[in-house]
Amino acid sequence: MTDTMERRSLTRDQLLGAYRMMRTIREFEERVHREFATGEIPGFVHLYAGEEASAVGVCSNLDERDTIASTHRGHGHCIAKGVDVGEMMAEIYGRTTGSCHGKGGSMHIADLSKGMLGANGIVGGGPPLICGTALAAKIKSTGGVGVAFFGDGGSNQGTTLESMNLACVWNLPAIFVAENNGYAEATASTWSVAADSIADRAAAFGMPGVLVDGFDFFAVHEAAGEAIARARDGGGPSLIEMKFTRYFGHFEGDQQTYRADEVARARAELDCLKRFAARVTETGELAQSDLDAVDAEVGALIDQAVDSAQAAPLPTEADLLTDVYVRY
């Protein structure tokens, strides 16, 4: 765990923006959790609630030159990278107004125009792609970086390990973010990751690795900022391991009997939003009323997103056959 570190001072706007982003993810996921239980949402969803500080702490350091790849648990990364919330909700409901016109669903939400290479249904599917976008940024000298998010499960996948090696061999502007939420499906990461920590693996590839409290936005923001700056400067790739827990199951419907009661404790004592709020109000950088106003706006935003999604049209039969190729 990182010690309390000197945090770079963020502006009021940056702080509000970070809080808004995390709150949006939290409300989005909590709402999807409730709506899914009604049976209206098709397929599988994998919720990110609890992990917001990771997505927002990292992505608040990125801009339009940068790309990210995500996992099946991708809503948080999508929102943090600027994908439209209304389009995301519609996609989850399988409507034509969705980010992917209803053809991708929760696990494949993407917006390449925002540098979001997609949530990914294949564990370990993202890191090789990020080697590619990072390579493109390097060849074109855009100064952009690529961030590959993956889980503790994905950290064991061959594709992830190969990508780390390749990124180091080619000295790519890539950042590998291992979101260790304690479980890969129903299997504990303490069991499936043989080493003491995922961060320790970085040294084996010849890149820096740090372990960060994933519930602490400021710690994440600082560690990510350093890694991203290093990459932009031509200093090559880094690995960041976030440690935290997910509030919901692997998928919605997971009875989670493999867990103890760590979620209750986390929500009460470790929650990233509570800690963020406590810290900024204590220092006086933001007032509680500022945060309440954001909460209200976000609530309305999510309500609007759900209403629109539920009213939106479904794709038609003609849509079934379109967009397989650019031109066949």
* Contact positions vs other proteins (CB under 8 A): 67, 69, 98-104, 108, 110-113, 117-118, 120-122, 125, 127-133, 135-137, 139-140, 146, 158-159, 162-163, 165-166, 169-170, 322-328
User: Which residue, 57 or 151, has its beta carbon nearer to other proteins?
Assistant: 151
CA distance 127 to 149: 8
Please name every residue paired with 243 in a beta bridge, in sequence order, or none if there are none.
180, 213
Rg (CA), the chain: 19
Smallest gap from Cβ 162 to other proteins, in A, equals 4
**Beta-sheet pairing, 183-184 with 187-188:** antiparallel
User: Which residue, 111 or 241, has its beta carbon nearer to other proteins?
Assistant: 111
Q: Using the 8-state DSSP alphabet, how is residue 241 labeled?
A: E
User: Which residue, 1 or 324, has its beta carbon nearer to other proteins?
Assistant: 324
Cβ contacts of 147 within 8 Å, gap of 6 or more: 58, 59, 62, 66, 67, 68, 69, 130, 174, 175, 177, 228
What is the identity of the amino acid at 180?
N
Smallest gap from Cβ 86 to other proteins, in A, equals 15
Please name every residue paired with 68 in a beta bridge, in sequence order, or none if there are none.
116, 147
> What distances in angstroms separate CA 257 from CA 41, 61, 191, 193, one per listed residue?
23, 37, 17, 21
CA distance 125 to 273: 30
Q: Using the 8-state DSSP alphabet, how is residue 115 labeled?
A: T
- Cβ distance 40 to 310 under 8 Å? yes
User: Which residue, 256 or 322, has its beta carbon nearer to other proteins?
Assistant: 322
Smallest gap from Cβ 220 to other proteins, in A, equals 24
- Residue 123 has phi, psi (to 5 degrees) of -65, 125
Smallest gap from Cβ 232 to other proteins, in A, equals 16
Smallest gap from Cβ 119 to other proteins, in A, equals 10
CA distance 117 to 306: 24
Smallest gap from Cβ 308 to other proteins, in A, equals 17
User: Which residue, 129 or 302, has its beta carbon nearer to other proteins?
Assistant: 129
CA distance 119 to 71: 5
Smallest gap from Cβ 72 to other proteins, in A, equals 12
User: Which residue, 163 or 181, has its beta carbon nearer to other proteins?
Assistant: 163
User: Which residue, 71 or 120, has its beta carbon nearer to other proteins?
Assistant: 120
